[in-house]
Amino acid sequence: MSGYEGARAGAADLPSLDRLLGMPEFQAALADFGRTQVTAALRRDLDVRRAAALAGTLTHDALTPSAFGARVLSALTERNRATLRPVFNLTGTVLHTNLGRAMLPEAAIESVLQALTSPANLEFDLATGGRGDRDDLVAPLLCELTGGEAATVVNNNAAAVLLMLATLARRREVVVSRGELVEIGGAFRIPDIMTHAGAKLVEVGTTNRTHAADYRNAIGDRTALLMKVHCSNYEVTGFTKSVDVAEVVAIAKPHGVPVAVDLGSGTLAPMERWGLPHETTVQETIAAGADLVTFSGDKLLGGPQAGMIVGRKDLVARIKKHPLKRALRVGKLTLAALEPVLRLYRDPEHLSERLTTLRLLTRTRADMAAQAERLVPVLANALGEDYTVSAAPMVSQIGSGALPVEQLPSYGLAITPAGGGKRGAGRALARLEAALRGLPYPVIGRIAEQTLWLDLRCLEAHDEARLSLQFAELRA
């Protein structure tokens, strides 16, 4: 029955685990993954072969030492591949929440590397040798850039809002316009955060119109805060009225009630300077009289995930003393990344070159079009006859709730199936989208209007060659 490699094999033909482990074919896997993992993988593989023998589908060529060696090595490589992996964000959304939002600038790399591998003065005052406060590493910079008196940093903006409300408004009332009761993707809803902070939400106005009198009439003995929330991911248009921060401040002040603003993205630089639509800056909000402003670190700011609270010294001091602050605090890696990013804002002349987010947002259409022209033949060659690839204008978005309705003229690759009718075309596009996602360095695009769009806004020059390689890989 033996001698012929493709011939049927039985369970009795399976080699023993010990015999296999001693073979030279396994030495590479043993060196890379260790005996525990290799033994377990080999057991799993032998189980599969045994089942095949019982089903009558096992062949002798599956039982050679090199066949076992190759299967085990590939299984272990797959099993040990990082789950968090870099991808190409060709969705056209620059601050894509599901793809990790802002990419950190080069300036942060060295600082983060050092914090990873070396002790640091995270909570150690180098001047006195006494205990330090981790907020002090970035608070002076945040105050300098925003005009706030004091600052503290927590895990993200949702945490910043929660902590602020829990400290200042527990068992008391917070007045918010009905037009600003936002839900941000991933289950952040202002009413829910209020509940969890123990605060009572007092809604005023209507969805489309809120007037100064609505705020004025809502203030009472139990009012802790008047709060404004940035309408990050939508816009109310048409017959609308809202009350701006300065006006809300004017209403609150005589009552001694503080005004808090959840700015969402919040930016520290005037975006119109680079031809982008204006997004309210933190400075403007502080200058308008807001007592506290909260904003994200990884949206337009272009830094790591973090939530900033900037504003009045006495209020920030109370917030820092709340027990939740300890639970929501940031780690040293975040602070190591945040400090160099903030420092870039001291030099606005170089910002659009050095802050990755801004560099991507300000790329010219001509630059992206030239990239598209170079990539079309590479992708067309990889896809063959089944698809048509062309360079095409498209529009990208900033994302993460910054300027939700503004779109940026962009350029990229448009791919359509060569034929097969509407249903067939839909399936062909889905297949291609999945194949791009399945690449070693996954390529994420977007399907719309029977076309797969690969927006090149987030493809910087140094990544172009790597994308070409992935396209070539697609062919295999």
Ligand X SMILES: *Cc1c(COP(=O)(O)O)cnc(C)c1O
The answer to whether 267 contacts ligand X (rule: CB under 6 A) is: no
Interaction pattern, residues 396-415, with ligand X; x per rule: CB under 6 A:
-----x--------------
Interaction between residue 264 and ligand X (CB under 6 A): yes
* Residue from the set 188, 289, 426, 468 that interacts with ligand X by CB under 6 A: 188
Tell me, by CB under 6 A, how many residues bind ligand X.
15
Distance separating alpha carbons of residues 103 and 297, to the nearest angstrom:
11
Residue whose CB is less far from ligand X, 102 or 336: 102
Q: How far is the CB of 173 from ligand X (least distance, A)?
A: 20
User: Using CA of residue 209, residue 215, residue 218, residue 224, what is the dihedral sign?
Assistant: positive
Question: Binding to ligand X (CB under 6 A): which residues in 200-229?
Answer: 229
Residues 340-369, interacting with ligand X (CB under 6 A):
none
SS3 205: coil
Using the 8-state DSSP alphabet, how is residue 403 labeled?
S
Residues 123, 132: contact at Cβ < 8 Å?
yes
> Rounded to an integer, what distance in angstroms lies between the CA atom of residue 179 and that of residue 241?
9
* Closest C-alpha to 97, from 39, 38, 158, 174: 158
The least distance separating ligand X from the CB of residue 49, rounded to whole angstroms, comes to 49
Compare residues 267 and 371 and give the one whose CB is closer to ligand X: 267
The residue written with tokens 């509407």 in the block is 422
Binders of ligand X among 111-170, rule CB under 6 A?
Answer: 156-158
Q: Which residue lies nearer to ligand X by CB, 229 or 414? A: 229
Q: What angle do CA 9, 13, 19 make, to 5 degrees?
A: 140
179 binds ligand X (CB under 6 A): no
Q: Which is nearer to ligand X, 111 or 305 (CB)?
A: 305
From the CB of 298, what's the least distance to ligand X, in Å? 7
Which region holds residue 205: left if phi is over 0, alpha if psi is between -120 and 50, else beta? left
- Of the candidate residues 89, 91, 152, 296, the single one contacting ligand X (CB under 6 A): 296
Instruction: Give dist(CA 31, CA 326) in Å, integer.
Output: 43
Residue with tokens 């990050």: 232
Residue 177 near ligand X by CB under 6 A: no
Give the three-state DSSP class for 135. helix
Radius of gyration of the chain (CA): 29
Q: Does 280 bind ligand X (CB under 6 A)?
A: no
Under 8 Å between Cβ of 179 and 231: yes
Only one of the segments 65-73, 167-175, 262-270, 383-391 lies at the binding site for ligand X (rule: CB under 6 A); that segment is: 262-270
Give the one residue of 45, 203, 262, 279 binding ligand X; rule: CB under 6 A: 262
307 interacts with ligand X by CB under 6 A:
yes
Q: How far is the CB of 316 from ligand X (least distance, A)?
A: 18
| 303 forms part of the interface with ligand X (CB under 6 A) | no
Q: Which of residues 232-251 bind ligand X (CB under 6 A)?
A: 232
Of 235, 340, 323, nearest to 279 (Cα)? 235
Q: Are 205 and 177 in contact (CB under 8 A)?
A: yes
**Nearer to ligand X among residue 73 and residue 308 (C-beta):** 308
| 184 near ligand X, rule: CB under 6 A | yes
Helices 332-344, 139-146: axis angle to 10 degrees equals 30
- The per-type count for the chain, helices as H runs and strands as E runs, is 18, 15
* Nearest approach, Cβ of residue 160 and ligand X (Å): 8
* Residues near ligand X (CB under 6 A): 156-158, 182, 184, 188, 229-230, 232, 262, 264-265, 296, 307, 401
